[in-house]
Structure 1
Amino acid sequence: MPSPPEQGAKVQIATKPFRLNSFRGAPSYPSGFEGWRGTSPELGDVSVTYPFRPGEYELSSIVQGEGIPTVRYHTKGLHVVSGLFMPTLNRGTLRVGEDEVTMSRNRLGVTEQSRALHLTHGGDEYRLWAISRLHYALARKPSGERPGVTVQVEQSGKHGMRAMKSGRMHLSFTIEGCAEPTDIALAVMFSGVDRSTLTAGGSVRAMFARGSDQAVELGTGL
Structure 2
Amino acid sequence: MQQTYILDRWEDRSGHRLTWKFGYRGTVGEFGRIEVVYPARRHGDRHVTEVSGDTVPVTAFDGWAYGRKPSLHLGQLGVGTAGIRLKRNRWAQTRAGRALRMQVAGRAYRYLATSRRHRDRALVRDGVEIRTSRHGRGARKKATLTVLGPADATDLALAAVMIGVNTRNLTRGGAVRAFFGRSLDWLEIFHSP
Q: What interval of TM-score do these two structures reach, taking the shorter chain for normalisation?
A: 0.7 to 0.9
Note if contact 2:41-2:49 (Cα within 8 Å) is conserved in structure 1: no
Partners in 2 of 1:140 and 1:28 — Cα distance? 41
Match 1:183 to one of 155, 162, 165: 155
Partners in 2 of 1:56 and 1:176 — Cα distance? 38
Q: Does 1 or 2 have the higher relative contact order (CA < 8 Å, sep 6+)?
A: 1
Structure 1 alignment gaps of length 5 or more: 1-13, 142-147, 158-162
5 Å-filtered alignment, 1:17-96, equals: 17-28=4-15, 30=17, 34-51=22-39, 56-76=44-64, 80=65, 84-96=67-79
5 Å-filtered alignment, 1:118-137, equals: 118-131=101-114, 132-137=117-122
**Structure-2-length-normalised TM-score:** 0.85
Give the CA deviation at 1:16: 2.5
Partners in 1 of 2:111 and 2:93 — Cα distance? 15
Give the CA deviation at 1:54: 9.8
Give the CA deviation at 1:73: 1.1
Note if contact 1:197-1:206 (Cα within 8 Å) is conserved in structure 2: yes
Return the letter of the residue paired with 2:28: S
What residue number does 1:152 align with?
131
Stretches (4+) displaced over 3 A: 51-56, 206-210
Partners in 2 of 1:15 and 1:29 — Cα distance? 42
Partners in 1 of 2:139 and 2:21 — Cα distance? 8
CA offsets 1:122-152 (integer angstroms, 9 cap, x no match): 31100000123111000012xxxxxx20000
Helix, strand or coil at the partner of 1:16:
strand
Match 1:139 to one of 121, 124, 132: 124
Match 1:197 to one of 158, 169, 173: 169
What residue number does 1:102 align with?
85
Return the letter of the residue paired with 1:138: L
Partners in 2 of 1:120 and 1:87 — Cα distance? 20
Partners in 1 of 2:97 and 2:39 — Cα distance? 31
CA offsets 1:67-114 (integer angstroms, 9 cap, x no match): 1100011124xxx26xx1100001111000010111100001111101
Give the number of the structure whose alpha-carbon radius of gyration is greater: 1
**Structure-1-length-normalised TM-score:** 0.74
Structure 2 alignment gaps of length 5 or more: none
CA 1:41 to 1:52, structure 2 compared with 1: closer, same or farther past 3 Å? closer
